[in-house]
Amino acid sequence: MPEAQALPDTRERILIEASRLLSINGYHGTTTRDIAAAVGISQPSLFFHFTNKLAIVQELYEHDIVPAVAGLENLVVGPGDPAAKLYAMIVGEFGRIADSPYDMRAHISFEALNHPDLAGFRDLVNQFDDLTRLLIRSGQESGQFVHGNAWLAQQMVSGFLVRANLFASSDQVERQINPREGAALVLRSLLIDPETIEQVEERAEELLPRYRSP
């Protein structure tokens, strides 16, 4: 049972290197030998820390999608208007992925998510989308957002989040993400009156802590 007490350093390094390689080459494109080599241990040593290759991915998803859904759920059920909540979610997501010790840039695009053993995480990803869509719909009904296909709007939000994180780079100034600018960009397309964006921003700032501490 490797799941016990104090985590040794190697286990952590495996997760870090694995996440990096998985983001680049995907699940099937990343071999256990690749991961082991990146960590600097022999390939069989991986199986001392994780029961199998899939367990590494499972743990990465655990760190990624679980807090995301928890945070968004917390935001949705709490006080505030839909626009401020959506703004807070986008800022929170950019921050969460940037602060993660793991490279979760391609978290959604993992083909691994088709694996039966990852069905639970696939459901969580869908739940995140459902909650985002719920936020958009309630904003439409309250007259804050323009009407239209909520699914399409949600794909814009989700697609933007995934894509921006995927191609973000700390080496190039232009590709460093300003979470608030990203959120404002998306909100502009949904708000009936884009002039109100500044008030949305103000209200969202108060909601931000709700996304981080579920």
Partner DNA sequence: CACTCTATCTATCATTTGATAGGCTAGCGC
Partner DNA sequence: GCGCTAGCCTATCAAATGATAGATAGAGTG
Locate all alpha helices (DSSP H) within the chain, ordered by sequence. Answer: 9-25, 32-39, 46-49, 53-77, 82-99, 119-141, 150-167, 179-190, 197-212
Regarding 170 and contact with a second copy (CB under 8 A), the answer is no
Regarding 45 and contact with DNA (CB under 7 A), the answer is yes
d(CA 83, CA 145): 8
118 binds, among DNA, a second copy, none (CB under 5 to 8 A by kind): none
DSSP string, 26-48: TTTTS-HHHHHHHHTS-GGGHHH
Regarding 155 and contact with a second copy (CB under 8 A), the answer is yes
10 binds, among a second copy, DNA, none (CB under 5 to 8 A by kind): DNA
Give the binding range for a second copy (CB under 8 A) out of 48-56, 74-82, 97-105, 142-150. Answer: 142-150
Give the binding range for DNA (CB under 7 A) out of 39-47, 73-81, 121-129, 149-157. Answer: 39-47
Q: Which is nearer to a second copy, 51 or 178 (CB)?
A: 178
Q: Which of 12, 37, 53, 129 binds DNA (CB under 7 A)?
A: 53
Which DSSP letter does residue 108 get? G
Q: Which is nearer to a second copy, 2 or 159 (CB)?
A: 159
Burial class (CB in 10 A: 0-12, 13-18, 19+), 169: exposed
Regarding 116 and contact with a second copy (CB under 8 A), the answer is no
Which residues partner with 145 through β-bridges?
191
Contact in structure between 180 and 94 (CB atoms under 8 Å): no
Contact in structure between 104 and 97 (CB atoms under 8 Å): yes
Q: Which of 24, 31, 62, 178 binds DNA (CB under 7 A)?
A: 31
Residues of the shown chain interacting with a second copy in the complex, contacts defined by CB under 8 A: 24-29, 106, 109, 111, 114, 146, 148-153, 155-156, 158-164, 167, 174-175, 177-178, 181-182, 185-190, 194
